[in-house]
Amino acid sequence: MLRNDATEGGGRVAQLAVALAASGRCQCPLVCKKNKMIRTVLSRTFPRLNRLSVCHYSAVAIPTPSTQPDVHYNKLFINNQWQDAASGKTFPTINPATGEVICQIAEADEADVDKAVKVARDAFRLGSPWRRMDASHRGLLLYRLADAIERDAAYLAELETLDNGKPYAVSYTVDLPNVVKCFRYYAGWADKWEGKTIPIDGDYFCYTRHEPIGVCGQIIPWNFPLLMQAWKLGPALATGNTVVMKVAEQTPLTALYVASLIKEVGFPEGVVNILAGMGPSAGAAIARHMDVDKVAFTGSTEVGHLIQQASGSSNLKKVTLELGGKSPNIILSDANMEDAVEQSHFALFFNQGQCCCAGSRTYVQADIYDEFVERSVERAKRRVVGNPFDLKTEQGPQVDQEQFNKILGYISSGKREGAKLMCGGGVAADRGYFIQPTVFGDVEDNMTIAREEIFGPVMQILKFKTLEEVVTRANDTKYGLAAAVFTKDIDKANYVSNGLRAGTIWINCYDVFGAQAPFGGYKASGNGRELGEYGLDNYTEIKTVTIKVPQKNS
Amino acid sequence: MHYSVCVNTHACTGKTSSSGGVGNSFFRYLGHQQQAGNGCNHQGLNQNHQPQPADGPETQALPMPIPDPPIQYTKLFINNEWHESGSGRKIPVYNPATGKLLCEVEEADSEDVDKAVRSARAAFQMGSPWRSMDASDRGQLLNRLADLVERDRLLLATLEALDSGKVFLMAYFVDLVATIKTLRYYGGWADKIHGKTIPVDGDYFTYTRHEPIGVCGQIIPWNFPVMMFAWKIAPALCCGNTVVIKPAEQTPLSALHMAALIKEAGFPPGVVNVVPGYGQTAGCAISHHMDIDKVAFTGSTAVGKLIQKAAGDSNLKRVTLELGGKNPNIVFADCDLQYAVEQAHSGLFFNQGQCCLAGSRVFVEEPIYQEFVCRSVEKARSKVLGNPLQPGVDQGPQIDQKQFDKIMELIESGKREGATLECGGSAWGQQGLFIQPTVFSNVTDDMRIAKEEIFGPVQQIMCFRSIHEVIQRANATHYGLAAGVFTSDIDKALTVSSALQAGMVWVNCYNAMSVQCPFGGFKMSGNGRELGEYALQEYTEVKAVTIKISQKNS
C-alpha cells in the first residue's frame, strides 16, 4: 500500500515489507515502522510514502520487543482442546540465537495424527456445524482470526523471532502483516468461490458445485512459520475443508498460539487441528493416512518426493507441493545498477537466505559483471548480523545446527570447486547458528553451489553474455520456482520472462508477494499453486450435477 | 439478506413459528454475530421447519429502538465535509407513522450536484490517494465501514424506522444486516477483480485491466434507504470509482449517517458525496451531468425511462436501472400448502408491500385455490399494525401521502373492476399513513391491480389450470424482475423456472435474497445486475493492452 519509489536502491527490505506487507489496519503502522527502521539501518533515501495509507497516515514505532515472551501453549491442539501426546513424548524447541532450550513441546506421532484425523472427519460430516455454515460466515471467522492475530501481532512477532531467529523488525513488519493480509484475502473468497451452470447438449440442466475436498493434511516448514500457516489455512478454510496441520519441529510456538486464536474466534471443534511433530513420524503418518483426503506440503524437494510416494501407496490423496528452488536472477547490462545490486542482495539474503525462492543464481551480463560483484560484496559486508531482537539487525541465526552445518558444507564445496570467495564464508558468532553473509564470484554452472539449494546467506554470482545463453542456462535446473530479470528494455523483459521456466517471474523487482498473486513451481519445485484465486483450486472438488429436464430452452 | 421476515417478527416477539425459514436464519445469524460463536449458531440456516437452537435469540432480550435518537447530520456531504445547499432550501423530513416533522435536511440542487461532481472528479484524478491505493486497502476500508455500521446498528435501525416507517425489528434484523453483509462482501471483492492475459494472434502480448469507470451518480429509493445505499456504494467503491449519491427526499437520514461513517472509516475526501434532494432537480442534474461517467438508479420504471433518456441526451453515460415489477408467484397444487401461503404472504406484505420484488400476482392452481385464499386471508387478518418502533408490530405506515393515495386508488379500482375483496381495503388507525392488509381473490389478468405495480399491502390471488397457461400469463407483462414457484415436482420446478422471464426465480421460497446472488430485471424491470460478482461489471471499464513482442511463445 505504501510503496517506495523503488528506483533508489535504498529500501530493498522496505520494498519487501511493503510488497509483501499490507493488511489493512495492521499493515500501515507496520510499514511505517518498517520504513523507519530502514532509515535507521541503511541511512538511505527514505522511501517516499506517496500513497494513501488506510491507517490515517499514522507512523508508530516498532514496539520494543520482549526478548523472553511467555510461552502459553506447548501441547497438541485437537478438537479445540489441548492434549498431551498419546506417547507422552515431548521434544525441546531451541532458540537458534543462543542454542538454548526454550521449552518442551508435546510430540505428535501416528496415534495423535489418527486422533486428529478422526475429529477432523467428524467436523466434516454432513450436517455438522462447519458443513452447514454459510460460506460468508466461514469468511467472517477468518476475518475475526485476522483481527485477533493483528491484536496480538507484537507478541506473535516476538515468539516468531525467539523460535525461528528471524529479526524481530522483520517478523513484525513483514511476516505478521502478511499473515493478517492472507487471512483477510481468503476470508473474502469464502462466499465468492462460484460454480457454474453449463449449457450441455440434450435436455439436461447441468451445474457444478465447488465442494471442499474434506480432511486436509498440511505440513509446513520453519522458515516462515506463521506465514506458511496462513497460506495453508486461508484457502483450506475459506473453501470449507477441515485441517490436520503438522508444524515444523524447529518452530512450533507461533502456530500453537494461533491455534488458541482459532478457538477464540469461534471455529467449531475439529475444524483445525495443529500438531507439532517430526517429519518421519507425524508427517509420514499424515502423508500415508487412509482417511486424509488431501495433503499439502511445503519444504524440500527431497521430502516432496516422499509425500507424493506416500499418496500413491495409500489412498491417492490429492497432493500439492511447494518445494525447493535454485532461482535465477538475471541482471542485464542496461539495468539500474544500484537498484539491481540492492534487490539482488535482498533476493538472496532475506530471511537469512532461508527462502525457497531465494535468488541464488545471480546471472550478471559480462560488461557490468565486475562492478556488480564489487558492489554486491560491499553491500554484503555492510549487512548487520546479530541479536535478532535488536532492531538494527538485518540477519539473525540460521534455524538449527543441521542447517548451519549444511550451509558451511556448501561454502567449503564452493571454495573447493574453484569459485572465488569474495567475502564471508565463516561462522559469525561464538554461539547460536550465525553465518557470515557470503558472496561467491566466478561461479560456474556445474559447481555444487550453482546447482543445489543452499538455503543460507550464500550468494552465487555468475557471468553471461547473451540473452539466449542466459535463458538456456537459467532453465538448466530441475527446479522452476521463481526467477527475475532486471532491464529497462521492454522487449528483453518480455523475452526473458516468457522464456524462463518458473512459476513466478519478477521484472525489476524481487520477492514481491501478494496474497492475490499465485505462487508455486514448475518442474521439481512443486505441484499446484498457493495464494490468489488459483490457491482455491487445490482445496476444491468439483461436482457436476446433471438433471433431466422435460425440455431444454436457451 | 433473506427477506422472508414475517416469520422473523414472530420469532422476535417470542411467538412460536411453524416455519423457521430463511428469515429465521437471518435473525439467528445476527443475534449471534457479536459472540465468539462456535459456529453452531448456523444450524438450520436455510433449512425450513428447523427448531430454534436452545440459545436462540428468542431467549435473549430483543433490541429496543433508541428513544428520541439524536439526528446529527442534516447537511450535504461533499468532499468529506458538511455543506449547506447553494440555494439555502431545505427538505422537511416526516415520520410517516405520525405525520410529524422529524427535522429539515439541506436540499441539493444542480449547483450542489456540480460541486459534488467536482470533488468526486478530483478524488478520481490519476495519482490521487484513492487511485493509487492498493485494491486490498479499498477492501479494508469497506470492511471497516461494515464494522462501524455494526457498531451504530441500533441508531441506524432506529433512524430508518422513524424515517421510513418500517418496522424497527425488520430494520434491525433485515436492512442493517443486509447493509453490513453487502459492505463486507464487496470489501472482499476489491482485490479479486481479475483482468486476463489473452492469447491473441501474432507476436503480441495482450492483457486486460479492469479499471473503475470514474464518477458514478447513484439515485436510490426510500423503501430500503440504508440497504440501497450499501448496494450502490459497495460495488462502486470496491471497483475504485467515486460516487455522488442522492438518497430519496423522504428518507435521507440513514444515508447522511452513513456519510459520517464513511469519513470515520478513512475514505479520502471526495470519494463519496451524499446529496439529498428531489428527483426533478438533483436527480435530474445527476442524470444529465456531462462529467458523470455512469448513473445507477433504483426506482420506478417511469423514472427509469427518464434516466435512460437523460444519458442519451447528455454524454452517453453508462446506465444501470433497477425498476418496478409485477412479480408472479406460482403455486402448484402439489406444494406444501401452509408453507406456500406463508411465503406468498410475506412475499407480498413484507415492508408494507413496498418492494419492487413483491409477489403481487399470486397464481394458484385450481384444486387448492379456495383453500389458499382462505388461509391467505386468515394470515393477512392476523397482521398487527401500529407504531413500527413498538415490539409486536408487523406492519407500519406507507411512506407518504402520495403513495398512500395511489394504493387506495388501486384498491378502489380492484373493487370496481370486479375482484373479490376478501379482507382489508381501507385505511387504518387515527393518524399516520396506515393501510389494512388487503387481499383480493378472483382477480383476472386484465384488471389494473393485476397489471400495475401497487407498492402497498394489497395481495392479488389468481387461479390457473395448466403449467403452460400459467407460464404464458406470468410472462404477459412489461416487467421481469422476480418470480416464485412452489411445487414438489422437480420437472415443474425446472420447466417454470427456465420459462419465466425474470431476473430472479425462487423455487419453494420467496425473497430469498443474498448479497452473493445477482439481482436485476428482464424487460422493463431494469438493466444490468446488482449484487454478486455480476455487479462488478457494472462498475468497471475493461481496457485491453496489447504490447508488441519480439517473439511469441505459448
pLDDT in tens, A211-256: 999 999 999 999 999 999 999 999 999 999 999 999 999 999 999 9
Q: Chain B contacts of A26, Cβ < 8 Å?
A: none
Å between A45 CA and nearest CA of chain B: 21
Per the CB < 8 A criterion, the answer to whether A452 and A409 are in contact is: no
| Catalytic residue positions of A, numbered | 322
Give the residue from chain B lying closest to A127, CA to CA. B43
- Are B40 and A56 a contacting pair at CB < 8 A? no
List the single residue in B39, B139, B547 with the smallest CB-CB distance to A267. B39
> Which pLDDT does position A25 carry in this prediction?
34
Least confident range of A157-161, A176-180, A197-201: A197-201
> What are the distances in angstroms from CA A114 to CA A126, B251, B272?
20, 59, 54
- Are B191 and A205 a contacting pair at CB < 8 A? no
Å between B134 CA and nearest CA of chain A: 5
> Which pLDDT does position A60 carry in this prediction?
54
> Among A5, A48, A54, which would you mutate to test the B interface (most chain B Cβ atoms within 10 Å of its Cβ)?
A54
Per the CB < 8 A criterion, the answer to whether B398 and B96 are in contact is: yes
Give the residue from chain A lying closest to B130, CA to CA. A52
Q: How far apart are CA A41 and CA A48, in angstroms?
A: 16
Q: Quick one: average pLDDT of B4-9?
A: 34
Per the CB < 8 A criterion, the answer to whether A293 and A215 are in contact is: yes
Strands (E), A43-176: 76-78, 81-83, 90-95, 100-106
Say which residues have a Cβ less than 8 Å from residue B327's Cβ, sequence separation at least 6: B357, B358, B359, B360, B361, B479, B481, B482, B483, B484, B502
Give the residue from chain B lying closest to A26, CA to CA. B140
Q: Is residue A370 pLDDT above 70, yes or no?
A: yes
Q: Quick one: average pLDDT of A180-206?
A: 96
**Amino acid type, B144:** R
Q: How far apart are CA A485 and CA A487, in angstroms?
A: 6
Residue B496, classified by CB atoms within 10 Å of its CB into exposed (0-12), middle (13-18) or buried (19+), is: buried
Q: What angle in degrees, to the nearest 10, is found between the helix axes of B225-238 and B135-151?
A: 160
Q: Cell 500500500 maps to which residue?
A: A1
DSSP notation for B90-141: EEEEE-TTT--EEEEEE---HHHHHHHHHHHHHHTSTTSHHHHS-HHHHHHH
What is the value of ipTM here, to two decimals?
0.83
DSSP B152: T
Q: Quick one: average pLDDT of B150-170?
A: 98
Least confident range of A20-34, A477-491, B400-414, B513-527: A20-34
> Which pLDDT does position B19 carry in this prediction?
37
Q: Quick one: average pLDDT of B60-75?
A: 93
Q: Is residue A20 pLDDT above 80, yes or no?
A: no
- Helix (H) or strand (E) holding A168, with range, is helix A168-170
- Are B36 and A269 a contacting pair at CB < 8 A? no
Q: How far apart are CA B538 and CA A133, in angstroms?
A: 30
- Helix (H) or strand (E) holding B205, with range, is strand B204-212
Strand order in the sheet with A197-198: A197-198, A204-212, A540-548
**Single pTM value for the model:** 0.87
- CB atoms under 10 Å from CB of A366, counted, come to 11
Q: Chain A contacts of B262, Cβ < 8 Å?
A: none
List the single residue in B45, B137, B551 with the smallest CB-CB distance to A132. B45
The percent of residues above 70 in pLDDT, for chain A, comes to 89
- Are A52 and B130 a contacting pair at CB < 8 A? yes
The percent of residues above 90 in pLDDT, for chain B, comes to 88
pLDDT band at A120 (very low <50, low <70, confident <90, very high): very high
Q: How far apart are CA B75 and CA B105, in angstroms?
A: 6
Q: What torsion do the CA atoms of A37, A38, A44, A47 make, to the nearest 10 degrees?
A: -110
Give the residue from chain A lying closest to B30, CA to CA. A137
Interface contacts (A, B; CB < 8 Å): 150
Give the residue from chain B lying closest to A192, CA to CA. B516
Q: Chain A contacts of B136, Cβ < 8 Å?
A: 1, 22-24, 181, 184-185, 514-516
Cell numbers describing residue B90: 431545505
Per the CB < 8 A criterion, the answer to whether A439 and A462 are in contact is: no
Give the residue from chain A lying closest to B265, CA to CA. A54
List the single residue in A137, A266, A516 with the smallest CB-CB distance to B191. A516
Q: Is residue A18 pLDDT above 60, yes or no?
A: no
**Amino acid type, B458:** V
Q: Chain A contacts of B22, Cβ < 8 Å?
A: none
Q: Quick one: average pLDDT of B268-292?
A: 98
- CB atoms under 10 Å from CB of A488, counted, come to 11
Q: Cell 541482471 maps to which residue?
A: A331
Per the CB < 8 A criterion, the answer to whether A438 and A421 are in contact is: yes
Q: Chain B contacts of A242, Cβ < 8 Å?
A: none
Nearest residue to B530 via CA among B308, B327, B258, B321: B321
Strand partners, A544: A208
Q: Chain A contacts of B194, Cβ < 8 Å?
A: 533
List the single residue in B140, B205, B499 with the smallest CB-CB distance to A54. B140
- Per residue in A415-436, is it b (16+ CB within 10 Å) or e — as a string? eeeebebbbbbeebeeebbbbb
Q: Chain B contacts of A185, Cβ < 8 Å?
A: 136, 191
Q: Chain A contacts of B143, Cβ < 8 Å?
A: 24, 143, 184
Q: What are phi and psi of A121, to 5 degrees?
A: -65, -40
Cell numbers describing residue A387: 541479536
Q: Is residue B336 pLDDT above 70, yes or no?
A: yes
Q: Chain B contacts of A148, Cβ < 8 Å?
A: none
Strands (E), A213-365: 215-219, 242-247, 272-276, 294-298, 318-322, 328-331, 361-365
Per the CB < 8 A criterion, the answer to whether B429 and B393 are in contact is: no
Q: Quick one: average pLDDT of A3-15?
A: 36
- Are A51 and B188 a contacting pair at CB < 8 A? no
List the single residue in B129, B266, B533 with the smallest CB-CB distance to A194. B533
pLDDT band at B60 (very low <50, low <70, confident <90, very high): low
Nearest residue to B337 via CA among B185, B88, B166, B508: B508
> Which pLDDT does position A3 carry in this prediction?
33
Å between A181 CA and nearest CA of chain B: 9
Mean pLDDT, rounded, of chain B: 91
> Among A4, A51, A52, which would you mutate to test the B interface (most chain B Cβ atoms within 10 Å of its Cβ)?
A52
Q: Chain B contacts of A494, Cβ < 8 Å?
A: 205, 547, 549-550
List the single residue in A134, A135, A181 with the smallest CB-CB distance to B136. A181
Q: Quick one: average pLDDT of B466-489?
A: 98
- Are A494 and B266 a contacting pair at CB < 8 A? no
Q: Is residue B151 pLDDT above 70, yes or no?
A: yes
Q: How far apart are CA B421 and CA B406, in angstroms?
A: 17
pLDDT band at B303 (very low <50, low <70, confident <90, very high): very high
Least confident range of A202-206, B85-89, B401-405: A202-206
List the single residue in B38, B132, B550 with the smallest CB-CB distance to A52. B132
Ramachandran assignment for B295, one of left (phi > 0), alpha (psi -120 to 50 degrees), beta (any other): beta
Q: Quick one: average pLDDT of B38-49?
A: 34
Cell numbers describing residue A511: 520477492
Q: Is residue A390 pLDDT above 80, yes or no?
A: yes
| Three-state DSSP class for residue A504 | strand
Specify the pairing of strand B427-428 against strand B420-423: unpaired
List the single residue in B40, B499, B553 with the smallest CB-CB distance to A129. B40
Q: What angle in degrees, to the nearest 10, is found between the helix axes of A24-42 and B135-151?
A: 130
Give the residue from chain A lying closest to B206, CA to CA. A494
Tell me whether residue B211 is one of the annotated catalytic residues.
no
Q: Is residue A13 pLDDT above 70, yes or no?
A: no
Q: Quick one: average pLDDT of A319-343?
A: 97
> Among B42, B80, B501, B517, which would you mutate to test the A interface (most chain A Cβ atoms within 10 Å of its Cβ)?
B42
- Are B194 and A533 a contacting pair at CB < 8 A? yes
Per-residue pLDDT of A433-487, as tens digits, reads: 999 999 999 999 999 999 999 999 999 999 999 999 999 999 999 999 999 999 9
- CB atoms under 10 Å from CB of A61, counted, come to 11
Nearest residue to A432 via CA among A461, A474, A404, A463: A404
Give the residue from chain A lying closest to B550, CA to CA. A491
Mean pLDDT, rounded, of chain A: 91
Q: How far apart are CA A33 and CA A18, in angstroms?
A: 11
List the single residue in A135, A268, A553 with the smallest CB-CB distance to B39. A268
- Are B498 and A269 a contacting pair at CB < 8 A? no
> Which pLDDT does position B17 carry in this prediction?
37
Q: Is residue B322 pLDDT above 60, yes or no?
A: yes
Q: Is residue A29 pLDDT above 80, yes or no?
A: no
Q: Chain B contacts of A23, Cβ < 8 Å?
A: 136, 140
> Which pLDDT does position B61 carry in this prediction?
83
Radius of gyration (Cα) for chain B, nearest Å? 23
Give the residue from chain B lying closest to A145, CA to CA. B36
- Are A52 and B189 a contacting pair at CB < 8 A? no
Q: How far apart are CA B185 and CA B143, in angstroms?
A: 8
Which one of the listed residues B160, B322, B342, B365 is annotated catalytic? B322
Å between B468 CA and nearest CA of chain A: 13
